Amino acid sequence: MKHVVLASTSTLYGDTYLAYLQPVMKHLFAGIREIVFIPYARPGGISHDDYTAKAAAAFAPLGITVRGLHTFDDPAAAIRNAEGFFTGGGNTFLLVKVLLENSLMSVLKETVESGRPYMGCSAGSNIGGISMQTTNDMPIVYPPGFQTMGLVPFNLNPHYLDPVPDLPHMGETRETRIREFHTQHTTPVVGLREGSWIHLKGENITLEGPLTARIFEAGKEPYEIPAGSSLAQLG
């Protein structure tokens, strides 16, 4: 049975890394001794080793050790043998490029769908959707493709921001960009605000956290759903 958490962000404003997700992590990774961390998104250019150390510090209070995928001689075998996974945020283009070029995306998908727990934040959540095409990230590298794991039957837009009234210019809004996506694709998109996450267990998919999410479906006006709502109907 699939057990997956896809969070908008790793860190709430003024908080420490993964602090707000600690109760979620405790439940998701219950009984697990070690997880594999996928550090390839490298936020701010952080090294794989430093990023893994940051994740390890956040999991230590739960008694869970963390090993970076980059440290294995055979990363595909490491994925197949892992007890669970965490993929951190950063640049989704870079993350997807590394996973696809090393034939790891399909291995990760297969392993998570077999029942190994998975948590993603930001870029790590983007790869839980059907494609990475609704990311906010700059295309700093060119991945071989945009398709991701499809653990949920829609795309995500983590860090979703609402327009700020009376602000002279904040660039094109997230809603504008998602509407542009829907001129070319019919995949639903969940605008996931900071502090919210998607919980997938078996066939149940729910919005969790304190905030509503904005739902975009091709040919429809966007609408809001409250926390606790099912997202299974988007499939």
Give me the catalytic one of 3, 8, 10, 122. 122
Return the structure tokens found at 163: 């327009």
Give me the catalytic one of 10, 125, 159, 196. 159
Neighbours of 92 (CB within 10 A): 28
Our answer to whether residue 230 is catalytic in this structure is: no
Answer yes or no: are the C-beta atoms of 10 and 192 closer than 8 Å: no
The backbone torsions φ and ψ at residue 184, rounded to the nearest 5 degrees and listed phi first, read -120, -20
Paired with 207 in beta bridges are: 198
Q: What angle do CA 222, 223, 227 make, to 5 degrees?
A: 140
Our answer to whether residue 162 is catalytic in this structure is: no
Give me the catalytic one of 125, 137, 196, 199. 137
Q: Which residues of 196-211 are buried (b: 16+ CB within 10 A; e: fewer)?
A: bbbbbeeeebbbbbeb
Our answer to whether residue 169 is catalytic in this structure is: no
Paired with 192 in beta bridges are: 158
- Which residues are annotated as catalytic? 122, 137, 159
